[in-house]
Amino acid sequence: MSQPPASFADRITNIAVTGPLVRIELGVVVPPTREGDKPGLIPAQTLVMPLEGFVASLGMIEAIVKKLVADGVLKARPADGAAIEASGPASQ
């Protein structure tokens, strides 16, 4: 069985729970149309998954974030231990 094509998103723009389903809205950054404007964020796709699957995924995401912090790719902000920020070339 072949894998479906990959989708790209710059960030999650919203997460909504409706009954047993979680809807994760994904957005893509678009360049400004006029000089001096900020880049925009437009909706790209919505990922819908069962609540049980979403909750099970949190452990995987947390493990990846911890590894990225340990590897120095992300760093915890001192004022808020739960918050992280990107460091290194990809964040600039």
Domain that residue 76 falls in: 11-91
Domain count, the chain: 1
pLDDT score of 91: 45
CA distance 89 to 92: 6
Q: Is residue 4 part of a domain?
A: no
**83 occurs within a structural domain:** yes
- CA 27 and chain centroid, separation: 9
Confidence at 87, pLDDT banded by 50, 70, 90: low
Q: How far apart are CA 60 and CA 83, in angstroms?
A: 17
Considering the domain boundaries, does residue 24 fall inside one? yes
Q: Is the pTM of this model over 0.85?
A: no
User: Model confidence over 16-74: pLDDT tens digits?
Assistant: 999 999 999 999 999 888 888 888 899 999 999 999 999 999 999 999 999 999 999 99
Asked if pLDDT for residue 83 goes beyond 60, the answer is no
